[in-house]
């Protein structure tokens, strides 16, 4: 059951009847600039929490890189189904006839037609009475006065001034943050700045290759296009195993031509062409270009993809494959815009580094996480002229991880939340957080954060981390990426809440290509280890070197020390309610310990955490009771 909270929109509308909002035609609680992957998720979540929400989208579709950019093969989080990511997957399965119907290509287990993805996102948006979407509309002129954003929206030359309490930048390249003067980074970081041993000695402005995706279908007849401008077959000669290839850039990644095409096979016999091996990846850093410069960069990227298509047709014999005429409603049948793997990365209240992923318990950011990822660090650079001089981070393994909330909050711009790929992460971390399921979750958390800020009449940076996390959990989302339980399991929330306190910690693992994390739910835990975890939250718990597995009796003793009173009766009562069979002397599993600690002590709600994950002074439960 999803939460519903009362909107503050009426209050804003009343305020906008005064001089504070003179000239404003519409007032919203939350305005989201960009209806892409994070923008649509933010809009859905914000509206569901009762906030009057507007999405401003430049083009005709919702979904961003998943739809408008044509990358309709999702990467990662196949098992970690939660929140709006899970909702979208379920919508796809219902549309196509089950999970197996989405396994058409070999690059992903979730493949779909971009037009279908757009229609499903629009269907989800239409169910929310508090959500409005304006297509073919741009936003500019952002100004914040007396805690209210004023901005101008433009649709075909018709301009309108609107107001909002909270603004979310969900643009593809972080353009709103740029306009507002939020500091940001572009390109590769220096190891001395980030502390990442995998980073370079000196920073640069080199970004990942982008891709202008194409979706093809088989017409059963020759549909070879005219030779594009500047066509050079040598550029694509080593895209697959064929007679044209002599010196491949990546000899260990060569596939037969049939495998190259079916890599991105979509339902209904269409083919997504997003081929990274000397295919239609294209290097250009267009992030800080002006509008004419970007337009020219897009034109060149499109032409590069058309050259690749021409190579497929004329050199590899795929003459019956042509641009699908029933996907994108564009004149050239290509997506609305390219797939940007990289954008600006703001300077946020928190900066998420590769070290935070590799060793999550070296600090306390894990206590603040609002979404999860399990994809390796994946960087595309082979179209950069000097690509061989860059670090080779092809699928650099990491444990699965949680994304901290503070990455969405600029360090020096109140009232603004930043989503999509422009969050405060390092260049290396962006190689994983840029993937579609992670960005959907970032958007969902941004929407929750915005709606709670409106409800509580405070800055987004002042919203309780735990309240945002509770919304995520209530909507079936993950805080930490443990594979032990699906989010539908009734024990899931207790495991997640206790893990988010650090009382019981998980472990990361790399198994083949799979990046994992486990709570080890069915294992036992020693008294020494559990006491150590409890002491971080409850200093009155005594230390111990006892390696005996914790049982109900010993857990009751620990909680008695933690809570300052006899907890034996409460532990027994909760155990009887939670477990079919309970013996106070039998060893408890880690999951059972988590359930009992959650039910008896409730440390997740009792102790609030700061944006860096440190515990805030005071007992929240006592404060709330006064």
pLDDT digit string, tens, across residues 160-202: 999 999 999 999 999 999 999 999 999 999 999 999 999 999 9
Mean pLDDT of the region 101-118: 97
Domains of the chain in start order, with CATH, are 9-188+342-474 (3.50.50.60), 210-323 (no CATH), 492-625 (no CATH)
**What phi and psi values does residue 226 have, to the nearest 5 degrees?**
-60, 150
CA-based nearest residue to 210, from 276, 273, 260: 276
Whole-model pTM?
Answer: 0.95
Does the structure show a pLDDT above 80 at 599? yes
Q: With beta carbons less than 8 A apart as the criterion, state whether 68 and 337 touch.
A: yes
pLDDT band, very low/low/confident/very high, at 624 (cuts 50, 70, 90): very low
Does the structure show a pLDDT above 70 at 294? yes
Does the structure show a pLDDT above 90 at 460? yes
Q: What is the pLDDT of residue 135?
A: 98
Q: What is the pLDDT of residue 398?
A: 86
Q: With beta carbons less than 8 A apart as the criterion, state whether 26 and 161 touch.
A: no
Helices 552-563 and 527-535 cross at an angle (nearest 10°) of: 20
Q: What is the pLDDT of residue 16?
A: 58
Residue whose tokens read 């007679």: 243
Tokens of 487: 């989010």
Q: How far apart are the first and last CA of the chain?
A: 29
pLDDT digit string, tens, across residues 305-331: 999 999 999 999 999 999 999 999 999
CB neighbour class for 161 (10 Å; exposed up to 12, middle 13-18, buried from 19): middle
Q: Rounded to an integer, what distance in angstroms lies between the CA atom of residue 409 and that of residue 205?
A: 23
Does the structure show a pLDDT above 50 at 621? no
Q: What is the pLDDT of residue 19?
A: 45
Q: What is the pLDDT of residue 6?
A: 42
pLDDT digit string, tens, across residues 372-387: 999 999 899 999 999 9
Contacts of 417 (CB under 8 A, 6+ apart): 42, 166, 167, 168, 169, 408, 409, 446, 449, 450, 460
Q: With beta carbons less than 8 A apart as the criterion, state whether 472 and 45 touch.
A: no
Q: Rounded to an integer, what distance in angstroms lies between the CA atom of residue 372 and that of residue 9?
A: 31
How many angstroms separate the Cα of 524 from the Cα of each of 13, 28, 554, 564? 55, 51, 13, 25
The CA-CA-CA angle for residues 423, 50, 143, to 5°, reads: 50
Q: With beta carbons less than 8 A apart as the criterion, state whether 526 and 534 touch.
A: no
CA-based nearest residue to 446, from 414, 468, 470: 468
Mean pLDDT of the region 488-505: 98
How many angstroms separate the Cα of 321 from the Cα of each of 105, 226, 502, 533, 605? 16, 14, 54, 59, 57
pLDDT band, very low/low/confident/very high, at 4 (cuts 50, 70, 90): very low
Q: What is the pLDDT of residue 7?
A: 46
- Residues 196, 200, 201, 202: is their CA dihedral positive or negative? negative
**β-strand partners of 427:** none
pLDDT digit string, tens, across residues 328-339: 999 999 999 999
Q: What is the pLDDT of residue 508?
A: 93
Mean pLDDT of the region 440-450: 98
Tokens of 324: 């699908």
pLDDT band, very low/low/confident/very high, at 625 (cuts 50, 70, 90): very low
Greatest extent of the chain over all pairs of C-alpha atoms, in Å: 82
Tokens of 619: 């007992």
pLDDT band, very low/low/confident/very high, at 512 (cuts 50, 70, 90): confident
CA-based nearest residue to 84, from 69, 97, 96, 74: 74
Q: What is the pLDDT of residue 127?
A: 98
Q: What is the pLDDT of residue 390?
A: 86
Mean pLDDT of the region 432-449: 98
Q: Rounded to an integer, what distance in angstroms lies between the CA atom of residue 90 and that of residue 99?
A: 8
Residues in the chain: 626
Q: What is the pLDDT of residue 608?
A: 97
Alpha helix ranges (H) inside 70-212:
83-96, 114-126, 175-179, 191-194
CA-based nearest residue to 201, from 191, 212, 213, 209: 191
Q: With beta carbons less than 8 A apart as the criterion, state whether 330 and 317 touch.
A: no
pLDDT digit string, tens, across residues 513-549: 789 999 999 999 999 999 999 999 999 999 999 999 9
Mean pLDDT of the chain: 94
DSSP per position, 252-280: GG--BHHHHHHTTEETTTEEEE--TTTTS
Q: With beta carbons less than 8 A apart as the criterion, state whether 107 and 435 touch.
A: no
Tokens of 399: 């444990």
Q: What is the pLDDT of residue 12?
A: 54
Does the structure show a pLDDT above 80 at 10? no
Q: What is the pLDDT of residue 153?
A: 98
CA-based nearest residue to 461, from 419, 417, 425, 420: 417
CA-based nearest residue to 347, from 280, 276, 411, 269: 411
Q: What is the pLDDT of residue 1?
A: 37
Q: With beta carbons less than 8 A apart as the criterion, state whether 201 and 368 touch.
A: no
Q: What is the pLDDT of residue 48?
A: 98
Does the structure show a pLDDT above 80 at 461? yes
Q: Rounded to an integer, what distance in angstroms lies between the CA atom of residue 609 and that of residue 603?
A: 11
Mean pLDDT of the region 137-151: 97
Q: What is the pLDDT of residue 394?
A: 67
Higher-confidence residue of 209 and 15: namely 209
3-state SS track over 289-348: CCHHHHHHHHHHHHHHHHHHHHHHHHCCCCCCEEECCCCCCCCCCCCCCCECCCCCEECE
Q: Rounded to an integer, what distance in angstroms lies between the CA atom of residue 142 and that of residue 64?
A: 22
How many angstroms separate the Cα of 541 from the Cα of each of 280, 366, 544, 549, 621? 59, 22, 9, 17, 19
3-state secondary structure of 142: strand
pLDDT digit string, tens, across residues 389-422: 887 776 777 899 999 999 999 999 999 999 999 9
Q: Which residues of 175-191 are buried (b: 16+ CB within 10 A; e: fewer)?
A: bbbbbbebebbbbbbee
Q: With beta carbons less than 8 A apart as the criterion, state whether 366 and 502 touch.
A: yes
Taking residue 221's Cβ as centre, other Cβ atoms within 10 Å add up to 8
Does the structure show a pLDDT above 80 at 18? no
């Amino acid at each position: 059951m999803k939460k519903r909270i009362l909107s503050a929109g009426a209050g804003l509308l009343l305020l906008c009847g005064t001089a504070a909002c003179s000239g404003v035609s519409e007032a919203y609680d939350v305005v989201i600039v960009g209806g892409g992957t994070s923008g649509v998720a933010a809009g859905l979540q914000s509206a569901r929490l009762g906030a009057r929400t507007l999405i401003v989208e430049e083009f005709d579709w919702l979904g961003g890189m998943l739809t408008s950019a044509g990358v309709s093969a999702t990467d990662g989080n196949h098992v970690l189904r939660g929140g709006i990511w899970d909702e979208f997957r379920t919508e796809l399965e219902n549309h196509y006839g089950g999970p197996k119907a989405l396994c058409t290509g070999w690059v992903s287990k979730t493949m779909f037609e971009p037009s279908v993805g757009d229609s499903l996102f629009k269907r989800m948006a239409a169910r929310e009475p508090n959500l409005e979407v304006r297509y073919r509309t741009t936003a500019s002129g952002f100004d914040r006065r007396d805690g209210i954003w004023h901005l101008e929206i433009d649709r075909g030359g018709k301009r309108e001034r609107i107001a909002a309490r909270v603004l979310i930048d969900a643009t593809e390249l972080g353009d709103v943050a740029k306009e507002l003067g939020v500091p940001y980074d572009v390109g590769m970081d220096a190891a001395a700045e980030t502390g990442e041993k995998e980073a370079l000695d000196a920073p640069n402005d080199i970004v990942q290759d982008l891709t202008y995706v194409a979706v093809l279908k088989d017409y059963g007849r020759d549909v070879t296009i005219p030779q594009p401008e500047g066509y050079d077959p040598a550029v694509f000669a080593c895209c697959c195993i064929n007679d044209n290839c002599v010196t491949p850039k990546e000899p260990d990644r060569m596939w037969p031509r049939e495998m190259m095409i079916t890599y991105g096979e979509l339902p209904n016999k269409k083919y997504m062409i997003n081929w990274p091996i000397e295919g239609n990846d294209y290097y250009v850093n267009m992030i800080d270009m002006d509008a004419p410069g970007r337009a020219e960069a897009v034109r060149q990227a499109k032409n590069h993809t058309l050259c690749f298509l021409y190579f497929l047709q004329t050199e590899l014999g795929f003459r019956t494959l042509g641009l699908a005429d029933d996907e994108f409603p564009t004149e050239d049948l290509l997506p609305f815009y390219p797939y940007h793997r990289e954008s600006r990365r703001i300077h946020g209240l928190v900066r998420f580094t590769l070290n935070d992923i590799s060793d999550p318990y070296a600090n306390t950011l894990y206590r603040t996480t609002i979404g999860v990822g399990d994809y390796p660090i994946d960087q595309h650079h082979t179209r950069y002229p000097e690509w061989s001089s860059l670090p080779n981070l092809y699928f650099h393994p990491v444990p699965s991880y949680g994304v901290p909330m503070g990455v969405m909050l600029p360090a020096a711009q109140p009232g603004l939340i930043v989503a999509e790929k422009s969050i405060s992460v390092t260049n290396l971390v962006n190689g994983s957080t840029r993937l579609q399921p992670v960005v959907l979750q970032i958007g969902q958390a941004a929407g929750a954060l915005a709606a709670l800020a409106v409800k509580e009449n405070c800055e987004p940076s002042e919203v309780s981390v735990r309240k945002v996390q509770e919304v995520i959990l209530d909507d079936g989302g993950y805080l930490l990426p443990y594979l032990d339980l699906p989010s539908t399991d009734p024990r899931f929330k207790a495991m997640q809440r206790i893990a988010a306190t650090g009382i019981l910690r998980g472990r990361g693992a790399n198994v083949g290509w799979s990046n994992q994390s486990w709570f080890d739910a069915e294992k036992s835990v020693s008294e020494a280890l559990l006491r150590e975890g409890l002491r971080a939250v409850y200093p009155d718990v005594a230390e111990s070197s006892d390696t005996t597995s914790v049982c109900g009796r010993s857990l009751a003793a620990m909680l008695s020390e933690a809570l300052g009173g006899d907890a034996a009766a409460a532990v027994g009562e909760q155990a009887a309610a939670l477990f079919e069979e309970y013996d106070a002397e039998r060893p408890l599993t880690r999951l059972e310990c988590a359930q009992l600690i959650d039910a008896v002590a409730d440390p997740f709600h009792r102790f609030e955490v700061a944006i860096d994950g440190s515990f805030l002074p005071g007992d929240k439960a006592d404060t709330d009771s006064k």
